[in-house]
């Protein structure tokens, strides 16, 4: 029995909800679309939902070009019931980057380190895979389900973005799925999305980050300003500096501070470090090379500045301890 067949056996309703993490990225959207198509092939309808907004130009352009319908969970409040079945993609129950909506989270498909506190009827969680879209693509090929150009293009873009064009956290399966989808892809669309991914406001965020950067040994910290949609890209950008091997980028939101963390040293596991650094004041986690976090804060500008200083001290202390134990 294939994983998709196991997954389908756990669904009892004719309609389900597919939930991505908050502020979904291309990998989350591609994974949700792929699962929606697989369910449709098996006679099950579905609604893709998320919390927050799609705040990157290229991600929203992907949604528009591929005609992907996503609903904000705030618009589903009067519709969802406790009996509704929910499939989580590119996220897990209990993580800081996903809201707990009304309904029963019965299935989880993800590629982040497993949160073992929660259980599902079916789960396919593979931290060794570079993108959730890779797992979903494999379901198509394992079950010999046709994949049209729209699905192949969206899944391919999701994989390329989450692995930074196969330069970060990539696995053999990621490469295999890209190879098998190659002939079906619209690479003109993919290249357009990859080459037109910044707005003027994004440049201002880069400017804020560059002007605020602080480097301690090989660890960098920078502030992108308020409501920055490209902190992950800026974190990658900072890691490109030859003086930096561990990057922490943060942006103030209305309800707290969002962080993006990158590491190019195997000794400095980004996911473990951010989880330890934010313990007690927020939440964080992710992969060894890329991770994220969130610290709640609704106080004054001074409160935020004090919190930012505290976060830096915590990161530096955790990293110093890791380096000390590695000697």
Angle, helices 26-41 vs 149-162, to 10°: value is: 150
Q: What is the pLDDT of residue 301?
A: 87
Same domain, 242 and 185: no
* Statement to judge: residues 98 and 154 lie in one domain: yes
The whole-number pLDDT of residue 239 equals: 92
Provide block-wise average pLDDT over 10 residues at a time, the chain (327 residues).
Answer: 97 97 94 98 97 87 96 90 96 87 96 89 96 98 97 98 92 98 96 86 93 95 93 92 96 92 93 94 89 90 92 96 86
Burial of residue 18 (number of CB atoms within 10 Å: 0-12, 13-18, 19+): buried
Q: What is the domain-level CATH number for residue 235?
A: 3.10.310.40
Residues 265 and 159 in one domain: no
Give the per-residue pLDDT at 200: 85
- Note the helical H segments in the chain: 3-9, 26-41, 57-65, 132-142, 149-162, 172-181, 187-195, 200-212, 231-239, 270-277, 301-326
Residue ending a domain, among 156, 180, 195, is 195
* Domain of 222, in residue numbers: 200-326
pLDDT at 198: 79
pLDDT for position 177: 98
pLDDT for 201: 84
What is the rounded radius of gyration, in angstroms, for the C-alpha atoms of the chain?
20
As given in the structure block, the two tokens for residue 63 are 């949604």
pLDDT at residue 211, as a whole number = 96
Phi-psi region of 23 (alpha: psi -120 to 50; beta: other; left: phi over 0): left
What's the pLDDT score for residue 286? 87
Separation between Cα atoms, residue 313 and residue 327, nearest integer Å: 21
CATH code (residue 78): 3.90.1640.10
**pTM beyond cutoff 0.95:** no
How many angstroms separate the CA atoms of 148 and 183, rounded? 11
Region of 286 (left: φ > 0; alpha: ψ -120 to 50; beta: rest) is left
Collapse the DSSP code of 293 into the 3-class scheme (helix H, G, I; strand E, B; otherwise coil) and give the result.
Answer: strand
Q: Coil, strand, or helix at residue 128?
A: coil
């Amino acid at each position: 029995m294939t994983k998709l067949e196991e997954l389908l056996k756990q669904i009892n309703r004719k309609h389900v909800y597919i939930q991505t993490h908050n502020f979904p990225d291309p990998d989350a959207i591609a994974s949700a679309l792929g699962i929606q198509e697989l369910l449709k092939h098996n006679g099950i309808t579905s609604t893709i939902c998320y919390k927050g907004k799609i705040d990157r130009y290229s991600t929203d352009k992907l949604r528009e070009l591929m005609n992907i319908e996503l609903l904000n969970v705030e618009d589903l409040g009067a519709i969802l019931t406790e009996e509704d079945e929910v499939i989580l993609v590119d996220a897990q129950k209990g993580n800081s980057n996903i809201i707990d909506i009304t309904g029963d989270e019965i299935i989880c498909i993800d590629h982040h380190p497993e949160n073992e506190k929660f259980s599902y009827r079916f789960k396919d969680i593979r931290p060794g895979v570079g993108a959730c879209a890779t797992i979903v693509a494999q379901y198509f090929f394992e079950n010999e389900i046709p994949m049209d150009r729209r699905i192949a293009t969206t899944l391919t873009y999701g994989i390329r973005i989450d692995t930074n064009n196969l330069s970060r956290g990539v696995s053999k399966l990621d490469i295999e799925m890209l190879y098998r989808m190659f002939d079906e892809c619209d690479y003109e669309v993919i290249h357009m999305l990859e080459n037109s991914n910044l707005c003027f406001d994004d440049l201002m965020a880069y400017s804020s980050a560059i002007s605020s950067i602080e480097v301690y040994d090989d660890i960098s910290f920078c502030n992108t300003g308020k409501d920055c949609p490209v902190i992950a890209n800026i974190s990658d950008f900072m890691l490109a500096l030859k003086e930096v091997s561990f990057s922490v980028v943060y942006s103030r939101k209305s309800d707290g501070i969002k962080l993006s963390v990158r590491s190019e040293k195997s000794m400095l596991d980004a996911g473990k470090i951010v989880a330890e650094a934010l313990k007690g004041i927020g939440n964080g986690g992710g992969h060894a090379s890329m991770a994220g976090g969130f610290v709640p804060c609704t106080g004054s500008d001074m409160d935020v500045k004090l919190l930012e200083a505290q976060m830096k001290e915590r990161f530096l202390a955790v990293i110093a301890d890791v380096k000390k134990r590695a000697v």
